[in-house]
Amino acid sequence: MSAETLIYACLSVPLVGAAFIVLAGSYPNLREAVTLCTAGFLFLCVAHLVPTVASGFRPSITLLEMLPGLSIAFTIEPLGMIFACVASFLWIVTSIYAIGYMRGHHEVNQTKFYFFFAISIAAAIGVAFAGNMLTLFIFYEVLTLCTFPLVTHHGTDETKKAGRIYLGILIGTSIGFQLFAIVWTYVLTGTLDFTEGGILAGKADGPIITILLLLFMFGVGKAALMPFHRWLPAAMVAPTPVSALLHAVAVVKAGVFTVIKVIVYLFGLETLNGSDGSLYLAIIAGATLLISAVIAFRKDNLKARLAYSTISQLSYIVLGAAMATGAGIVGASMHIVMHATAKITLFFCAGAILVASHKTEISQLDGIGRRMPITMGCFLIGCLGIIGIPPAGGALSKWYLMMGTAESDHLIFMFVWMGSSLLSAGYLLPIVLRAFYSGSKTKASVQSKGGGTGIQEAPALCLIGICTASVLTIGAFFIADDLAGFLSPIAGM
- Of positions 52, 58, 165, 180, contacts other proteins by CB under 8 A: 180
* 299 Cβ neighbours under 8 A, 6+ residues apart: 305, 308, 362
To other proteins, the closest distance from the beta carbon of 23 in angstroms equals 17
Q: Which residues contact 178 (CB under 8 A, 6 or more apart)?
A: 137, 140, 215, 216, 219, 220
Residues 42-71 that bind other proteins (CB under 8 A): 64-68
Residue 219's alpha-carbon distances to 159, 171, 267, 289, 424, in angstroms, are 24, 9, 15, 18, 27
Orientation angle between helical segments 326-357 and 460-491, nearest 10 degrees? 170
Q: How many residues does the chain have?
A: 493
Q: Which one of residues 20, 186, 231, 267 is an interface residue with other proteins (CB under 8 A)? A: 186
Which residues ranging from 107 to 136 are in contact with other proteins (CB under 8 A)? 134
Q: What is the DSSP letter of 364?
A: G
Cα–Cα distances (Å) from 224 to 23, 145, 309, 361, 397, in that order, read 36, 17, 11, 24, 20
Q: Shortest gap between Cβ of 172 and other proteins (angstroms)?
A: 6
The one-letter code for the residue type at 405 is T
Q: Which of 168, 148, 141 is nearest to 72 (CA)?
A: 141
How far does Cα 360 stand from its chain's mean position?
22
The mark string for 159-178 relative to other proteins (x by CB under 8 A, - otherwise) is -x---x--xx--xx--xx--
Binding residue (CB under 8 A) for other proteins from 1, 108, 155, 460: 155
The nearest distance, CB 478 to other proteins, in angstroms, is 40
Nearer to other proteins, 144 or 375 (CB): 144
Nearer to other proteins, 120 or 397 (CB): 120
Between 133 and 380, name the residue whose CB sits nearer to other proteins.
133
* 348 touches other proteins (CB under 8 A): no
Q: What angle do CA 377, 380, 382 make, to 5 degrees?
A: 115
Least spacing, CB of residue 126 vs other proteins, in Å: 11
CB of 441 to other proteins, least distance (A): 42
Please tell me whether residue 227 binds other proteins under the rule CB under 8 A. Answer: no
* 162 vs 296, beta carbon nearer other proteins: 162
Contacts of 250 by beta carbon, 8 Å cutoff, 6+ apart: 87, 120, 121, 124, 143
Q: Which one of the spans 139-147, 269-277, 310-318, 353-361 is the region binding other proteins (CB under 8 A)?
A: 139-147
193 φ, ψ (degrees, to nearest 5) = -65, 140
Q: Is 25 in the site for other proteins (CB under 8 A)?
A: no
Q: Is residue 194 within 8 Å of residue 75, measured between CB atoms?
A: yes
Among 52, 112, 184, 425, binds other proteins (CB under 8 A): 184
**Smaller CB separation from other proteins, 138 or 374:** 138
Comparing CB distances to other proteins, the nearer of 72 and 474 is 72
Q: Which of 91, 137, 216, 308 binds other proteins (CB under 8 A)?
A: 137
CB of 69 to other proteins, least distance (A): 9
List Cα–Cα distances, 467 to 22, 263, 383, 475, in angstroms.
30, 35, 14, 12
- How many residues of this chain interact with other proteins, rule: CB under 8 A? 28
Among 3, 179, 374, 446, binds other proteins (CB under 8 A): 179
Provide the residue type at 253 as one letter: K
The contact set with other proteins (CB under 8 A) reads 64-68, 72, 134, 137-138, 141-142, 145, 152, 155, 160, 164, 167-168, 171-172, 175-176, 179-180, 183-184, 186-187
